[in-house]
Structure 1
């Protein structure tokens, strides 16, 4: 094609993407519809972000999807009385091409989304409290604020921090700017007198307290709340139960491996959660990254045994320069050294996936990067396979299975760690790095140990509050 033809095509795609933005926003604000293109969220995204989400389809379908394919679907959706739902217009467009069966696009979309039509009044939102406001706490705040606009029935009502006050602007500034994850997408204002941070219209009370059981949340209009403890200070059932003694708290969710409580990895053992579970753990970032991949591989090929080596970004637990640390080697400068350390993630897999009990060993190397880690899974399988077969299975799992929110897939020959900052998947399989030799394989799994893990925590929160969005089109 000539340069003029290529550029004209680009401008047409831009125009369609621009036209999509107000429709996507309206569906989100007014009806609680979360729109995506092959798993890439496009709510509150720019024209370029929307175009890149469509281009991602090349990895799946072999050809690029165009906004001209998906915009007509959005126009039809906009005329329907939809309720809260997650609708992937990219998958809808491809499904129509493959399975339309002579029906018009309007007939097809109406049939596919019949179960997404609004059914009466939506339930009241659930109050959420963040206990702690560190790396994970602030990312959870961003995610919860983002999802409030989508009508997902979660309301971040309060943040609990230590101290006596007077530091509200500094805490708001850390939410507003992040050296790894970039600027907050929206506006933030601070009311020092009322101790509130208002982010994108969400008024969030900042409560200063030194112990969970000393707070009366009902005094702030908060009731039946889920408290997300991201301090890591209390990790057993007795310690976490302190939160339940506070007025206004119904459940507690820990963002670390828990002792004496259920450790839940979404997509794997979240079916074990019951209404009686008032205290739950979301396990660790590494456990969340590797367990879904292990489950998929074990279900398809069987895993006899293996070793997990984690190449992990340094964390706040380490020292910037050499200083005393109670842990072996962790006292040495995180910014200057690779630090060999232990990880309990391999053993912790069995808490979510009992069939892996005793089959895995593990170790970790902390490296001088601030975010994004990699797990290397060296596995002995029960069935022989090939690199092509294993990668095809994992790619299909990432796109069309119950684990599609947990597992993503990359086939870029130039991908490096920073390319996975902001990934919403628990782990991303690097297909080009896969090694297979008969009944043994080595898998390389990238994961944003901050943001990807926070997304898993929110998914668990959505489940226990009954606010998980039903996904369309329905696959399988």
Structure 2
């Protein structure tokens, strides 16, 4: 047998194993509300090739490819346990098992590692929580996709309605089409039908009422059977407590803003300060996409090295608030053509750091340049550290943070030497550390952080909503503190 034939045989064997994993992953998700992860990447509803690619990508993080032959035994072991709702990372199970020298079987090790999700310790499946989207633009439609994707178990969050301004003929048809097809993020994974007579979009069996309203104070959500709901405001029209309080109508319990909040509205970055949300807080903000990109790695660097001061420069994709061609705009420079120019503009991300990291005493400044790409941005975080270090120490530390720390869902790590912005479209992390671009000189470190300012941010929004709704389930093995 030739080398090529041997490689192909090996590939077909791994395909067969990945194929056998799909029904196990699906059954765990549907019947027990268990989400199977691989290094923080969900394997639910993934194809054979996607599962193999996720295992292959592990080499970018851990330096070595992970094989399905290594993870399948842990997946099979999960099926023998009395599991409750949880997220279980089989990549982490495989990695920690290798490092364990007690000689335990895979079954015994797995049972011990996920003990918090089994038997008397397991969380009971909770009743679903209604969610309403106010606005249906770029972030609104991506959040809708994520909510629909996560509704497969029948529990958790349920997207019940979207609220938009009254449109013209075939308004609901056009909005459904924008949900179905996206020029950047591709096709919706599933089926979408429209019931015009009842003003309803049905996506993967989820009935979503389309409510037309120009004024939030005019909507009674209980009239649509919606109760105790979390409303996600994607418009950014109201950003202070007074304005956002207009949403607190019959049927709405909490309001989450997908833009930086003003005044005393808490700015929440999931993974960093979401546990500071008070149970009775009804209004909160998920800050900005850039704030979500820089705050987790900033916290990680502060925890290990200390940060005396810093500056963030964001090279940001253009957005809908800019003009396609030169025209009047209330902001300076944003009136100039977005697809044809680099545009210097302001960013509030640096000032928002103080809300998310109040214990950080370092002064952080920031600025931004909008560039002619439709999605994915990069934040260049220039830090003066409290102690000297070297490039290798910082690299190893950030790689470990991305693998085992409580920030592993926020911080990703890539060492590919030819990585470019389009490679990160669809990333579910708040930011991705580019190992090749990192610069360290004594007490100065410059981090290059990629982030999908649309999809990665939307994932952070959904995580916050899951947390405040009480359906954010624990992850096993537990991350290192």
SS state at 1:384 partner = strand
Matches of 1:470 and 1:243, distance apart in 2: 30
Rounded Cα–Cα distance in structure 1 between residues aligned with 2:340 and 2:29: 45
Shift of 1:304: 1.1
Deviation by residue 1:228-284 (Cα, 9 ceiling, x = unmatched): 00001111100000001x111100000000112111111111122011110000000
Alignment of 1:289-308 (within 5 A): 289-308=293-312
**For the residues of structure 2 that align with 1:32 and 1:25, how far apart are their CA atoms?**
10
Instruction: Name the counterpart of 1:168.
Output: 172
Equivalent position of 1:125 in the other structure: 128
Q: Which residue is 2:403 aligned to?
A: 399
For structure 1, which runs of at least 5 residues remain unmatched after alignment? none
Aligned to 1:321: 325
Deviation digits for residues 141-164 of structure 1 (CA, Å, limit 9, x no counterpart): 000001111455110000000005
Q: Aligned partners of 2:184 and 2:62: how far apart in 1?
A: 32
Q: CA RMSD in A?
A: 1.4
Q: Would the aligned equivalents of 1:424 and 1:455 in 2 still touch at CA under 8 Å?
A: yes
Alignment partner, residue 2 of structure 1: 3
Aligned residue number for residue 254 of structure 1? 257
User: Aligned partners of 2:392, 2:461: CA distance in 1, in Å?
Assistant: 33
Task: Specify the alignment match of 1:88 in structure 2.
Answer: 89
Tell me the equivalent position of 2:437. 433
1:280 match: 284
| Matches of 1:285 and 1:150, distance apart in 2 | 28
Unaligned runs of 5+ in 2: none
* Aligned counterparts of 1:197 and 1:367: Cα–Cα separation in 2: 35
The residue number in structure 2 matching 1:193 is 197
Query: Displacement of 1:78 after TM fit?
Result: 2.0
Aligned pairs for 1:39-438 within 5 A: 39-99=40-100, 101-117=102-118, 119=122, 121-163=124-166, 166-244=170-248, 246-260=249-263, 261-356=265-360, 359-438=363-442
**Matched residue of 2:354: which SS?**
helix
Q: Contact 2:232–2:257 (CA<8 Å) still a contact in 1?
A: yes
Deviation at 1:71, TM superposition (A): 1.6
8 A contact 1:338–1:365 mirrored in 2: yes
Tell me the CA shift for residue 107 of structure 1.
1.8
Cα distance in structure 2, aligned partners of 1:243 and 1:169: 26
Deviation of 1:121 (Å): 4.6
TM-score (normalised: structure 2) = 0.96
State how many pairs are aligned: 475
Range 220-229 or range 116-125, more displaced: 116-125
Distance 1:120 1:419, change over 3 A: closer
Q: CA deviation at 1:59?
A: 2.9
The SS at the match of 1:145 is: helix
Deviation at 1:475, TM superposition (A): 3.6
